[in-house]
Amino acid sequence: EVQLLESGGGLVQPGGSLRLSCAASGFTFSSYAMSWVRQAPGKGLEWVSSIASSGRNTYYADSVKGRFTISRDNSKNTLYFQMNSLRGEDTAVYYCAKDGTSAVKPAALDYWGQGTLVTVSS
Amino acid sequence: DIQMTQSPSTLSASVGDKVTITCRASQSISRWLAWYQQKPGKAPKLLIYDVSSLESGVPSRFSGSASGTEFTLTISSLQPDDFATYYCQQFNTYLYTFGQGTKLEIK
């Protein structure tokens, strides 16, 4: 059974940093691209970042480019999201999600974690 | 970046109704479109990928279609469990984008 378990969320002051983790199990983690998608309270889904299966290629939404860094450790089956220079508008539930295919191309997201809440406030 | 315009934002319907949700892409995305269902406090669930391929375990009352850059999710006969929010997503490139969402409410 595929499982994605996010952790690391919490309350942080504006300008602060936070690192999210997503522990994966039930599939060959190193074969799949992974993504982070966030959802602000009462709002829709916003894709923020993806990383190729190898970790060599990364992609970011303009809203987080230069502030957030996605990475992965395939030996630990874990996805990371380093968030720096946090702003109030970064307040959201952050979901990690798995690509639906091991082919090296973009794909629908077939499994999602339960999400972790990040609150940026003084 | 590719924009996805989803409509309507809210839809009121009754059990047994046939409903349609539409998503329009700002440029060609070929068949690289997915639909998700989300219930309050839960993670999104993949329903359909590649325009019309049903994810395993998803009831056959859900279907997807396309005409150019306009994509449609159809629920043929609404069931009580279907009242939720639905999102489209394009994955033509790794710069994924989602539609704004359609909240399906009980009339």
Per-residue pLDDT of B32-42, as tens digits, reads 999 999 999 99
Q: Work out the minimum CA distance from A15 to partner chain B, whole angstroms.
A: 26
- Among all residues of chain B, which has the CA nearest to that of A41? B41
Chain-chain contact of B49 with A108 (C-beta, under 8 angstroms): yes
- How far apart, in whole angstroms, are the C-alpha atoms of residue B61 and residue B78? 8
Whether residue A7 is predicted with pLDDT greater than 90 in this model: the reply is: yes
Band of pLDDT at residue A102, cut at 50, 70 and 90 = confident
Chain B environment of A35 (Cβ under 8 Å): 96
- How far apart, in whole angstroms, are the C-alpha atoms of residue A25 and residue B49? 23
> Tell me: the pLDDT tens digits for B88-107?
999 999 899 999 999 999 98
Chain-chain contact of B98 with A108 (C-beta, under 8 angstroms): no
Question: Per-residue pLDDT averaged across B18-31, rounded?
Answer: 97
- Among all residues of chain A, which has the CA nearest to that of B40? A42
Give the E-state strand segments of B53-101 in sequence order: 53-54, 62-67, 70-75, 85-90, 97-98
Task: State the pLDDT at residue A103.
Answer: 79
Band of pLDDT at residue A58, cut at 50, 70 and 90 = very high
How many angstroms separate the first and last alpha carbons of chain A? 40
Q: Would you tell me which residues 78-117 of chain A have a C-beta closer than 8 angstroms to some C-beta of chain B?
A: 95, 100, 106-110, 112-115
- How far apart, in whole angstroms, are the C-alpha atoms of residue A100 and residue A87? 31
3-state secondary structure of A19: strand
